[in-house]
Every structure is written in structure tokens, then in C-alpha cells.
Structure 1
Amino acid sequence: MAGLLIDNIGSLVTNDPSLGDGPLGLLSDAALVVADGVVAWAGPRRSIPEGAATERVDAGGRAVLPGFVDSHGHLAFAGDRTAEFAARMSGQPYTAGGIRTTVAATRAASRTDLGGTVAVLVAEALRSGTTTIECKSGYGLTVADEQRSLEVAAAHTDELTFLGAHVVPPEYADRADDYVDLVCSTMLDACAPTARWIDVFCERGAFDGDQTRAVLRAGVARGLVPRLHANQLGPGPGVQIAVEFDAASADHVTHVTDGDVEALAASRTVATLLPGAEFSTRAPYPDARRLLDAGVTVALAADCNPGSSFTTNMPFCIAVAVREMRMTPDEAVWAATLGGARALRRSDAGHLGVGARADVVLLDAPSHVHLSYRPGVPLVARVWRGGVAAGEDRSPTPAEPSG
């Protein structure tokens, strides 16, 4: 085979237990062969196939893992909410009302400016190792603006979610049901051809259970697959509705009952946890340990948005999840890679088994554990997406541990 050989890998996370140890399928002193944009072989260096590749990259004993799969993002927006963040850090609570500020700015922005913001954030995410990213609409809240948001995001990702039911816009104040009718009809007709997913912010101050069900039913009727903002600000029906609709994921999942946890564990709905939101709002973190111990499939995502989690950095989310949410380093890395792929119902991403898309991250560290062990340090040295290098190795000399 002719392709790329990544050789001399100190620790390789494959997320394929048939290839290595534990759920991460860990291999030491390993190598990886990429051909035609997919993984052609992975295993110990001593077993590299003859003539495996025409190009060789020496990993220098460093760690390699799958690209991060960020399954929850709000990248199509305009404007800035620095003042809101500063106010929260001064003691004011987060109530989600600032979404309307972003709606006004997004409506006023040009298509070029909106697309430019998405491009910058996707590139930023890629530099920190994110090779698959989801993007929602939800800051336009008119038929034309929601359609435009999805169209500009489509230039950067196939994982597009229609979130017309984000909040009720000002022109529909006190007429929430009328707005739901618009979402379920004209707005979905315009947006469904571009989107893959349908989402609703099921929360007090946004949309109640009946309204959420109505939007999800309308989306499913047009071929979209549900995912749901659920139980972020307090207890509510979101998790149960997500399971009821066989949603790919229930996102946030911060305030859950035993019944909610049991429902998730008995379903194929992934609990997608968004530690950046709690970090940025000083809200209680979800109890990942409780979910994992119950057998719930857990993903981690960045939730990049201008109000409550303005980060694209998945290594940061991994570190926070380990420190604040009682996840182990292995669990957090799995959740940020294969967990995210499960939340997007992707079989080609989040792992480095044979046939997977060759989304590969080289760390300037000997182990994936360093992602949480060395928080805030830019450890992503090189990224390949579909076998194509996204940039040069920024740290060619492997770091020697000290101290």
C-alpha cells in the first residue's frame, strides 16, 4: 500500500478494543498507516506491513489519538457579549436572556461576515485537534436568517442542526405558540433541505414540553433527526422527551432525576456534557460519574457560543471534565472522540480502526493523559483531517518530562 506512515508512536489511542488495551484500544510503540484518506493499518511498530507507505512521519515517541468530535456548537452568529460575561463574573446569574442580544447582531450582519465568523471558529477548533464539528442555527429566528445561517455553515461542516426553536424572538413576545407554528411550517420548509438535525432549547424561558414535541415531530416528518438541549437550567421534561424521540443526544443534562438517568441508560441517546458552559456561567457541573456508573453513553463537546461558552478548545473541556465532573482521563478522551461520534451517529469518526476516516492528532506529550494533566498547555502538535495535514508540527523535539 502507498500512503502515509506515522511511525514511532509512544502511545496510540485507537478507541478500538480489538487493537489494543481497554476501551481506548491503547497501543505502545505503535504505528499508523493512512491511505486514501482512511486508516489502512494500525498496530505495533514491529509489525508494520512491507511497503506500507511512501511518506513517513516520525512521532518521536509522542502520543497519537483520533481527532476530537465536537457534537455541539453555535458558530453562526455575530456580535459580542463581553459585558454579559463580565457581569456574570461579578455575581449576576445566567438566565439565557442574552441570546436575544446575539439575535439582533446576527440579523444585522452580512452573509460574508457571518460566514467569516464560522470559518474562523472552525479553523480555531481544528488547530486544537477538532476534526469533526457540529453547527446549529438559532441566532436568526426568522425564516431568511435561519436559512442563511445554515447555508454559510454548510461551507465548513456537514453536521448542520436547525435550531429555530432556540428562544422566542422579540416580535413574538407573548405569542410563543404562534412562533412554534412558524418554526413547524415555513421555517422548517426553508431549512430542512440544508440541515441533518432538528434541535429545541427545552427549558423554562424557552420552550415547554408540548412545544418541544411539536417542533421535533415536524422536523422528523421532514427527515431530520432529533437532538435536544435538555435539563440545563433546572429539572424538566427534556431528557425524557429526547429518549421518547430516540434523539441522538440530550445535551447539557445538568439537572436530572434518577428516572432521567435510567431512561438514558436504557436508550441509545447519548448524554452530551458541555463543561465550558458551567465554567463560563459558574453553574453546577453535571455529574458525569453518576451517568457513567449507570451505563449512560457520555460525550463531551465545547458548546462554542458567544454567551455561555465561548471556546472551541476540546482539550480544555477534557481537563475541566476530569477536574470538575469526576471523569477519568481515559473516560474524558473517549467522550471527546468516540463519544462525540456516537452523539452524531457517525461510525467513521472518533476512532482509528481500519476504515475510519484518517482524522489524527499528534500531541507534544507522551500520553493522552497529559490533556488533563497539563491543563491550558497547547499540546496539539499536528493534525490530519481525512489524511491531509492541517499544519506543520509546531514542536518537533519531543518534550522530556521533568520534575
Structure 2
Amino acid sequence: MSMLITGISELVTCDDTVEDRRGGADAALAEGLGVLTDAAVVIGGGGEDTAPVVEWVGPAADAPQADWAIDLGGKAVVPGFVDSHAHLVFAGDRSAEFAARMTGQAYDGGGIALTMEATRAASDGELRALLQHRVSEMRAQGTTTVEIKSGYGLDVEHEVRALRLAREVTPETTFLGAHVVPPGMRGEAGPGSPGREAYLDLVCGEMLTACAPYARWVDVFCEPASPHAFDEQESRRVLEAGRAAGLELRVHGNQLGHGPGVRLAVELGAASVDHCTYLSEDDVEALAGSDTVATLLPGVEFSTRQPYPDARGLLEAGVSLALATDCNPGTCYSSSMPLMIALAVREMGMTPAQALRAATVGGARALRRPDLGRVRVGGPADLAVVDATSWLHIPYRVGTPVVRALEV
């Protein structure tokens, strides 16, 4: 069965081979997004064993016949957002922590222990229902691909459970046993203490072995500024163990202060280093000369009152950027990629086109998924519909539910 989608006022393809033939201000605003006007798309496949794919893209006047058709009535269409950093398998509530931060309390990662307790206490059914609700909430805001991390179990049984549930909704699952050292194992001596060493042995041994079958990625919270997270040596050990187990690498880095996270990620060839709130000139130079994507999470800065990264400066330096939500119960309980786009434009110096590309093509690069983030023949039919004639309404109408994933 094939479906013709017509009535598309603007089709943002994010396909570098598509020439935007409009002139003047319209072309400048699009900045290489490959925008087609008065466009149509034909989607095929979508049976029990095959995902829908794009079969044709072009002017509506030239569209081929299809088995059935829908008319969007002059709405814009963009590639579905690729949210490459999210923590969706959790229970509990940390709204009081948010309120405390708004009155001046600093964030150091310690609240993760509260979520760990609530998540361990929840049943599989409760966690599955919460997860499915959050994924549905994301799709209602235009997200079609999401990466989901573990990290709120912090023991073998509950880390495996988190990844098993996450794998039910996405292939992009990340083992984050090295989120923080759980209470009772931190010790008073900091790095090198017996409790921390015992937990690292567990993460790099039994926990990794049990979790690897359910994960594509391994991640670590490399943040020497936090007593709960991991230093460079500890982080290296986790990442190298994950790689030896067949997992690809991601890093939480440079969120709370300057540190080794970015340079470690680049050295080990991680697909992405996420947060990048505090960067030195050496960090920027390392990123610009690498294939590691800097994934920016502006919702965290919004929710913690930390400084926003200089996205414009990073782009000018040649760094590859992605935007993601970091949806989590502590530092950014938002599932809205449109909000991240708006924050990137308003607070980080990105143009609307740069922000949209970072939320689509950039996220795909951060996941090393070149099939995602674009609308092109042979690619997945991951489309999002904007309830307006222009894609610019995504950052323009901030806080308004203006975009949603197209269900095909």
C-alpha cells in the first residue's frame, strides 16, 4: 500500500542534494534546509514486517498516483526530530528539587539517588506505562526517534530491567550504570575509595555483561566537579570496558565545570559528548577536529540556571552540533524538542535553520544513524507536521503545541 501526502506548503527535507530555488530572505532563512514549496511525498511499505519508507518526493503537480491520499491543507512538514539524549525509564517526583534550585540551591547530581529509590520500587507495569506515556508525549511534539538511557537502577537487576523496557520502544538504548555511585558505596575518600572501586568493578563486570545484550551504547557521567559522578580515570575504565563488550561510546561531559569529559570522548572516538556547558579553547579545538558530535541540552541550563553554551561560536569553529532534551526527572523534565529549538535560537545564538538541523540531522549524527533526520527517497517515513504554513513557527510559537509526528 502507498500513501500520497499532499497539501504541503513547505517541505523541509534537510537533504543537502535538494536545491532551494527561492530567492531573497526566504532562501537566507532556510540556510540549506532543502525546502520545497507546494510539495508532496509518497510513502510505501509499513506492513507487519517492514517500516514505512519514503518512495517519492517532489512538487505536488508532479506527484504519482498512490493507493490513497491525505491532504494537509497547506501545512509545513519537517523531518521528525531525533532526540539523542533522554532518561525516560524512571518513577518518582523531584519537583521540590526544581523549586529549591530556583531559590539558589546548586545542582551536583545528588538527587539521582531519590529517583533510584522510586524506580527500584516501581513494578515493570508501572515503569512501562510511564515510559510509553513519555514517548507518546514526545511524538505529540514531533519526535520520531529517541535514545533512552538506563541509570536509575544502579544495580544489576534494575539496570537490566530499564534497558529491557527501553528496548521495547527504541533500538537506541544506552547502558548508564556509571550515572553516579549509589548511596552506601561512595565512601568518604572520594575516587579510589573501596566503595567506589567496588561499584566500578560491578559496572565494568557483572552489570555490563548482563546489560550489554539490551544496549547499543555505553555512557558515563564524567564530572570531577561532582562527588557523585566519575573522574577521568574511572570514566576511561567504564568506556573501555563497554567498548570491549561491543558497545559504542557516549559521554556526559563538562556539565558542571571544566573537566576532561570532552577530550576523553574525542580521544576514544565517542559518537557524542553531551552537555558541553563549560568548554576551553582546547576542548573546542578537539571537537572541531573530530567526528564526535557536541550534543547541547539547553533545557538543562533553563532548569538549573547554569550558563548556556555558545552554540554559535562552536558552529563557527567547525564543531558538529546536536540538540536534545535530556528529558529526566531532575534537571530537565521536558520532552519538548520544539522548546529546545527555541532556547537554542533565543539563548545560544543559533539561527532557526541551524537549530532545526541540529534537532534532526545533528541528532542523527550523534546516533550515527545517517538514515534519520532527513526526508529523502529510500529513507524512513519519519515526518512531523507543523500546524502552520511555515516551519519557522516551531521556534516562533514557543510553548504552543504546533508540531506533531505524522502517524502513517
TM-score by length of 1: 0.93
1:43 has 2:58 as partner: yes
1:177 maps to which of 193, 197, 200: 197
2:32 maps to which of 17, 23, 30: 23
Q: How far apart are 1:251 and its partner, in Å?
A: 0.3
1:149 maps to which of 162, 175, 184: 162
- Could you tell me how far apart the structure 1 residues matched to 2:281 and 2:149 are? 30
- Could you tell me how far apart the structure 1 residues matched to 2:399 and 2:388 are? 13
Q: Which residue of 2 aligns with 1:133?
A: 146
Q: Which residue of 2 aligns with 1:10?
A: 9
Counting only pairs closer than 5 Å after superposition, residues 1-400 of structure 1 correspond to structure 2 as 3-21=2-20, 22-36=31-45, 37-49=52-64, 51=65, 53-174=66-187, 175-204=195-224, 205=226, 206-380=229-403, 382-384=404-406, 388-389=407-408
Amino acid at match of 2:43: V
Give the conservation status (yes or no) of the 8 Å contact 1:74–1:137: yes
Amino acid at match of 1:27: L
- Could you tell me how far apart the structure 2 residues matched to 1:183 and 1:96 are? 18
Q: How far apart are 1:26 and its partner, in Å?
A: 1.0
Paired residues, number: 382
Structure 2: gaps of 5 or more residues? 21-30, 46-51, 188-194
Segment of structure 1 superposing worse, 137-146 or 91-100:
91-100
Give the conservation status (yes or no) of the 8 Å contact 1:347–1:356: no
Give the conservation status (yes or no) of the 8 Å contact 1:362–1:383: yes
Give the conservation status (yes or no) of the 8 Å contact 1:71–1:134: yes
- Could you tell me how far apart the structure 2 residues matched to 1:297 and 1:369 are? 22
For residues 231-289 of structure 1, give each alpha carbon's deviation from its aligned partner in whole angstroms, at most 9, with x where no partner exists.
00000000001111111100001101111111111111111000111111111111101
- Could you tell me how far apart the structure 2 residues matched to 1:149 and 1:92 are? 30
Give the conservation status (yes or no) of the 8 Å contact 1:138–1:162: yes
SS in 2 for 1:227: strand
Q: Which residue of 2 aligns with 1:395?
A: none
Segment of structure 1 superposing worse, 18-27 or 84-93:
18-27
Give the conservation status (yes or no) of the 8 Å contact 1:72–1:303: yes
- Could you tell me how far apart the structure 1 residues matched to 2:78 and 2:300 are? 25
Amino acid at match of 2:276: V
- Could you tell me how far apart the structure 2 residues matched to 1:17 and 1:156 are? 30
Q: Which residue of 1 aligns with 2:190?
A: none
Segment of structure 1 superposing worse, 101-110 or 245-254:
101-110
Q: How far apart are 1:146 and its partner, in Å?
A: 0.5
- Could you tell me how far apart the structure 2 residues matched to 1:20 and 1:358 are? 21
Structure 1 runs of 4+ with >3 Å offset: none
Q: How far apart are 1:8 and its partner, in Å?
A: 2.2
Q: How far apart are 1:295 and its partner, in Å?
A: 1.0
For residues 44-72 of structure 1, give each alpha carbon's deviation from its aligned partner in whole angstroms, at most 9, with x where no partner exists.
223223x2x12222122221001010000
Q: How far apart are 1:23 and its partner, in Å?
A: 2.6
Give the conservation status (yes or no) of the 8 Å contact 1:231–1:237: yes
Q: Which residue of 1 aligns with 2:24?
A: none
Q: Which residue of 2 aligns with 1:392?
A: none
For residues 118-157 of structure 1, give each alpha carbon's deviation from its aligned partner in whole angstroms, at most 9, with x where no partner exists.
1110111011111100100001100111011111111111
Give the CA RMSD over aligned residues: 1.1
- Could you tell me how far apart the structure 1 residues matched to 2:288 and 2:32 are? 18
Amino acid at match of 2:232: G
Structure 1: gaps of 5 or more residues? 390-403
Give the conservation status (yes or no) of the 8 Å contact 1:19–1:43: no
State the identity as a percent: 58
Q: How far apart are 1:187 and its partner, in Å?
A: 0.5
Amino acid at match of 2:70: V
SS in 2 for 1:371: helix
Q: How far apart are 1:13 and its partner, in Å?
A: 0.5
